[in-house]
Amino acid sequence: MGACARSWFTSLWSQWCSASCGRGNRTRTAVCLMDHVSDLPLDKCEGERPQEMTSCDSGPCQNRPEWYTGPWGQCSAECGNGTQTRSVVCILNNHGHMEVVNQVKCSSLPQPITAQTCRLKPCGVQWYVTEWSACSRSCDGGYRVREVRCLTDNIAPSHQCDPTMTPESREECNNQPCVAEINDQMTLYHNCVVVVQARLCIYPYYRSYNLWYSVFLVTENVQLSDA
């Protein structure tokens, strides 16, 4: 037919059926080429245009497990890098009747991701802070500190942050008054003298005081003898 010959060319049929179960479609692309190079409008080739869609059957949908995903949630950050999540459930498809089942039934299928990064807009410069240090005192008022930096999106130092929004780098802590610790053993020691003098050792409650005081005296005498 010479140099003006025009022919239909088709790609291979798609490998996968459009439906995971039941009837679906497979597709291919048809183009009209001249000299095997030029792409012409599809109505310029002789003969009927090749079919670009064919039906396929992926098997019955009875009790077929499938993954179903919900919509992506809101981004966790108003600017910069954040995270958004979505729900993923395992569905048992029984001729159009769908039932949520345990995810183990879908374990043989590749599970869709449930989280992805998101970025609504660049943050520009903003203030960054470290964690607070330990308080300098445990009572009667101390202070704790943290580092404050102004950084850009690529974590480079900057001086463009709003100075009126500078986070505090030092604050007071543990302002409660200090309370003197009471030595229970010394309390028992002094009480034992009173208990013995008042002859209260006949009572079980006070007898334990007297017993502790006797052990204390014996221990003190042994230590003095050794010295």
Residue 19 lies in a domain: yes
Token code pair at residue 207: 């007898």
**Spatial separation of the C-alpha atoms in residues 227 and 218, rounded to whole Å:** 14
- Residue 224 scores a pLDDT above 50: no
pLDDT at 84 over 90: yes
Q: Same domain, yes or no, for 145 and 106? A: no
Tell me, what's the pLDDT at 201?
Answer: 66
- Assess whether 156 and 189 both reside in one domain: no
Give me the mean pLDDT over the 13-31 stretch.
86
Q: Is 147 a member of any domain? A: yes
Can you give the pLDDT at residue 25?
92
Q: Look-up: residue for tokens 């006797």? A: 214
Strands 148-151 and 126-129: antiparallel
Q: What are the beta bridge partners of residue 86?
A: none
* Sign, CA torsion 90/94/95/96: negative
Same domain for 199 and 163: no
State percent of the chain over pLDDT 70: 71
Split into its structural domains, the chain has a count of 4
Give dist(CA 139, CA 174) in Å, integer: 5
For the full predicted model, state whether its pTM sits above 0.85.
Answer: no
- The range of the structural domain enclosing residue 219 comes to 184-226
Residue 69, Cβ neighbours under 10 Å: how many?
A: 13
Alpha-carbon distance values, 56 to 62, 107, 108 (Å): 17, 25, 23
Instruction: Indicate the pLDDT class of residue 158, thresholds 50, 70 and 90.
Output: very high
Ranges assigned E (strand) in the chain = 6-10, 23-27, 30-34, 38-40, 53-57, 64-69, 81-85, 88-94, 97-101, 115-119, 126-129, 142-145, 148-151, 170-173
